[in-house]
């Protein structure tokens, strides 16, 4: 495998896939520690390995349907991340006393 011949998009997809392995591990540990008290805590725990696996496969085989699936999964990641941002922001506000 020659890295010199890899296109930028291929390298970026590999980076994103490896990053989601790390993100998945961190999110799993953090949410496990909180005993998954809210069902939405499962979304990043389940989605991260799926994102990683899809990205790693996409680095080595490039069918058009897999590119579309990966793009759709990344948009799903944006939605999951936005929901997580909302819940964390709201939770900090409640803990500090600024929220309902």
What's the rounded Cα separation, in Å, for the pair 28 and 20?
Answer: 12
Taking only the tens place, the pLDDT of each residue in 10-43 is: 999 999 999 999 999 999 998 888 888 888 889 9
At residue 77, does pLDDT exceed 60?
yes
* Domain limits for position 90: 3-96
Is residue 64 within 8 A of residue 43, CB to CB? The reply is no
Cβ atoms of residues 58 and 66 within 8 Å? yes
Domains contained in the chain, number:
1
Report the number of secondary-structure helices (H) and strands (E) in the chain.
3, 0
């Amino acid at each position: 495998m020659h890295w010199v011949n890899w296109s930028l998009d291929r390298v970026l997809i590999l980076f994103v896939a490896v990053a989601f392995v790390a993100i998945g591990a961190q999110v799993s540990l953090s949410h496990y520690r909180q005993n998954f008290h809210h069902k939405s805590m499962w979304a990043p725990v389940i989605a991260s390995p799926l994102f990683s696996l899809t990205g790693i496969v996409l680095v080595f085989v490039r069918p058009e349907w897999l590119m579309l699936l990966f793009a759709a999964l990344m948009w799903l990641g944006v939605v999951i991340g936005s929901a997580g941002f909302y819940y964390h922001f709201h939770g900090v506000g409640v803990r500090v006393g600024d929220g309902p």
